[in-house]
Amino acid sequence: MPREFIIASPTPVTMLHCIVGAAAVDPDLGLARVVGDGAVQIAGEGLVLAVVRSARVEEPADAERLFGHPLPAGTTCLSEAYGPFGEAMTPQVVHEIARLAGGTAFEPGGQ
């Protein structure tokens, strides 16, 4: 089972956020593939990270209950990211992507 992250942001996460965020952490990371318009996969040695297309937040209170985490003010979009446990770069890349999208990232039920 992969490690799951939620990116809460005021705008949708784009492919550009993913590419620039990955390169900021490790310039050797690359875009492995794009699955339609639905997901971006970032890959490198030991890391395969999938970032799923953003969805609009209709009911913030429902999302907060579902994820067990308060959403930052101004959150209008949620994106999911999945990567391997034990890979130190996984959270670094996810948090950089979130920062570029003007948001934050957290693990559901966690931090």
| Span 44-79, pLDDT tens digits | 887 789 999 899 999 999 999 988 888 998 999 999
What is 27-60 written as a DSSP string? TT-EEEEEETTTEEEEEETTEEEEEEPPEE-S-H
Residue 98 scores a pLDDT above 90? yes
Provide the pLDDT for residue 99: 98
pTM of this structure: 0.90
Provide the pLDDT for residue 42: 92
**Arithmetic mean of pLDDT over the chain:** 90
Contact 103, 21 (CB under 8 A): no
Alpha-carbon span 77 to 56, nearest angstrom: 4
Would you place residue 95 in the very low, low, confident or very high pLDDT band (cuts 50, 70, 90)?
very high
What is the CATH T-level fold of the domain 3-106, as seen in this structure? TATA-Binding Protein (3.30.310)
